[in-house]
C-alpha cells in the first residue's frame, strides 16, 4: 500500500511528543498550549491521508499522548470544557490503538482534575479505575496509585493514605531513573518524595514537615527556584501547610509568600495557595494580611471565553 508518511516523519513526530511532554514541568501552560495544538493538528492531518496499518497505529499513539497532554494543559489553565473534550479524544485514540497506558493516564488526569475541584470520592474512584486499566507497574499505574493516596488524604483517612503511599514506595523502590526524568508521562522515582510530602501535609500527618523540608532542600538547594521551579513552588506550599499543622505559622507565611511571588503556581494549583492563606489566617498570624494582598495581586485571572476560543 502506498503511503504519504515516511519513517523519518513518524520518528520526528514521536520525538516531538517526548519534547513537549518534557517541556511541561518548566513551560508556562499558555506558552505550551499552542505548540501542543499544532503538533496534534499535524498528526490529525496525517491520519486523514494514506497510511499503512503500522503507521496508523504509531500516529494514533502519538495523537493520544498529545491529546492527553493538551487536556492537562487546559486543566492547568482552568479551561475544563476544552480539557474534557481532549480527554475524550485521547481515550478514543488510545482505544483505536489498543494502548492501555494512555487510557490509564486519561483516567488519572480526570482524577487530578476532580480532586482539585473538591470531589474527593470521584477522584478516588477514577484513580482506582486507572489502576485497573493501566499496565501493572507502568508510570500511569504508579501515578494513579499516588493519586489514590491524595484522595484519601483529602478525605482525612490517614490509614488508607499511608497504605496507598506504601504501595507507591514498593512500586518505585527499584525503578530506574528514566532517560528524561522531566518527561511528564515517565515516572521519575524522585517524584515519590514530593508526592509523599504533599499527601502527608494534606492528611495532617506529623511526619509531613520532615519529608516536605527534605523535598524542598532537594528541589531548591540555593533558594532560587531550582531546575524545576514549578515543583519548588508547590513544595513550599506543602511545607507551609505542614508547618501550620505543627504550630509554626510564621515560617509558613514566609514560604507561602515565596511560592506566590515566584509566579510558578499555575491556575489549577492556585487553590493550594489560598488553602495555605486560610490556614495561616486561622492561626492569627499578623503577617497573613500581607500574604492575602500578594495572593490578590498574583491570583490568575479567569478567562471566561477560554474554553470556546482554545478548545
pLDDT in tens, 111-122: 999 999 999 999
Residue 216: its pLDDT value, please? 94
Confidence of residue 307 (pLDDT cuts 50, 70, 90): very low
Given a cut of 80, is residue 310 above it in pLDDT? no
**Region label for 135, one of left (φ > 0), alpha (ψ between -120 and 50) or beta (otherwise):** beta
3-state DSSP call for residue 254? helix
Structure confidence at residue 189 (pLDDT): 83
- Determine the Cα–Cα distance for residues 262 and 8; give it in Å rounded to an integer: 41
pLDDT category of residue 143 using cuts at 50, 70 and 90: very high
Q: Per-residue pLDDT tens for 266-294? A: 898 899 999 999 999 999 989 899 999 99
The pLDDT confidence band at residue 3, using thresholds 50, 70 and 90, is low
Q: How large is the average pLDDT for residues 244-249?
A: 93
Q: Residue 311 pLDDT more than 60?
A: no
Please tell me the pTM assigned to this model: 0.88
Q: How far apart are CA 190 and CA 183, in angstroms?
A: 12
Distance CA 236, CA 59 (A): 40
Phi first, then psi, for residue 266 (nearest 5°) are: -70, 160
Residues 9-20, mean pLDDT to the nearest whole number: 96
Kindly list the distances between the CA atom of residue 110 and the CA atoms of 49, 53, 65, 274, in Å, as whole numbers in the listed order: 32, 30, 15, 22
pLDDT tier, 2 (very low <50, low <70, confident <90, very high otherwise): low
Alpha helices in the chain (DSSP H): 7-23, 29-47, 53-76, 80-97, 100-116, 120-133, 139-154, 158-172, 191-203, 208-219, 229-245, 249-261, 270-282, 288-298, 306-310
Q: What pLDDT shows up at residue 79?
A: 95
91, 93, 98, 100 alpha-carbon torsion, rounded to 10°: -30
Looking at residue 29, what is its pLDDT? 94
| pLDDT tens digit sequence for 178-237 | 888 889 999 988 778 888 999 999 998 888 999 999 999 998 999 888 888 888 999 999
Contacts by 39-43, CB closer than 8 A, 24 or more apart: 39/13, 39/66, 40/66, 40/67, 40/70, 42/13, 43/13
What pLDDT, in 10s, does the model give residues 154-193? 999 989 999 999 999 999 988 888 888 889 999 988 778 8
| Cβ-contact 290, 251 below 8 angstroms | no
Task: Tell me the mean pLDDT in the region 86-106.
Answer: 97
Residues 151 and 117: beta-carbon distance below 8 Å? no
Residue 1 confidence class, pLDDT cut points 50, 70, 90: low
Percent of the chain with pLDDT over 70: 95
The mean predicted confidence, pLDDT, of the chain is: 91
Q: Which residues contact 91 (CB under 8 A, 6 or more apart)?
A: 102, 103, 106
- The three cell numbers locating residue 206: 506529623
Greater model confidence, 39 or 308: 39
Amino acid at each position: 500500500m502506498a503511503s504519504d508518511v515516511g519513517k523519518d516523519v513518524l520518528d520526528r513526530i514521536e520525538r516531538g511528543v517526548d519534547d513537549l511532554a518534557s517541556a511541561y514541568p518548566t513551560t508556562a501552560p499558555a506558552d505550551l498550549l499552542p505548540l501542543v495544538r499544532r503538533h496534534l493538528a499535524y498528526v490529525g492531518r496525517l491520519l486523514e491521508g494514506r497510511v499503512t496499518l503500522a503507521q496508523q497505529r504509531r500516529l494514533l499513539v502519538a495523537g493520544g499522548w498529545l491529546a492527553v497532554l493538551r487536556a492537562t494543559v487546559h486543566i492547568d489553565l482552568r479551561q475544563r470544557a476544552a480539557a474534557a473534550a481532549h480527554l475524550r479524544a485521547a481515550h478514543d485514540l488510545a482505544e483505536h490503538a489498543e494502548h492501555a497506558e494512555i487510557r490509564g493516564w486519561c483516567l488519572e488526569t480526570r482524577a487530578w482534575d476532580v480532586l482539585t475541584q473538591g470531589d474527593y470520592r470521584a477522584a478516588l474512584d477514577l484513580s482506582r479505575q486507572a489502576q485497573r486499566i493501566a499496565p501493572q507497574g507502568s508510570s500511569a499505574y504508579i501515578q494513579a496509585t499516588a493519586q489514590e493516596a491524595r484522595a484519601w488524604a483529602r478525605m482525612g483517612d490517614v490509614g488508607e493514605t499511608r497504605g496507598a503511599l506504601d504501595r507507591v514506595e514498593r512500586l518505585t523502590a527499584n525503578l530506574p531513573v528514566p532517560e528524561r526524568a522531566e518527561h511528564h508521562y515517565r515516572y521519575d522515582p524522585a517524584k515519590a518524595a514530593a508526592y509523599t510530602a504533599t499527601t502527608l501535609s494534606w492528611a495532617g500527618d506529623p511526619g509531613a514537615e520532615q519529608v516536605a523540608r527534605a523535598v524542598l532542600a532537594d528541589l531548591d538547594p540555593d533558594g532560587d527556584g531550582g531546575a524545576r521551579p514549578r515543583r519548588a513552588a508547590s513544595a513550599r506550599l506543602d511545607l507551609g501547610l505542614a508547618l501550620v499543622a505543627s504550630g509554626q505559622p510564621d515560617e509558613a507565611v514566609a514560604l507561602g509568600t515565596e511560592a506566590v511571588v515566584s509566579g510558578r503556581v499555575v491556575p489549577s494549583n492556585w487553590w493550594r495557595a489560598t488553602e495555605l492563606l486560610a490556614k495561616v489566617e486561622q492561626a492569627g498570624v499578623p503577617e497573613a494580611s500581607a500574604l492575602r494582598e500578594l495572593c490578590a495581586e498574583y491570583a490568575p485571572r479567569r478567562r471566561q471565553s477560554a474554553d470556546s476560543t482554545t478548545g
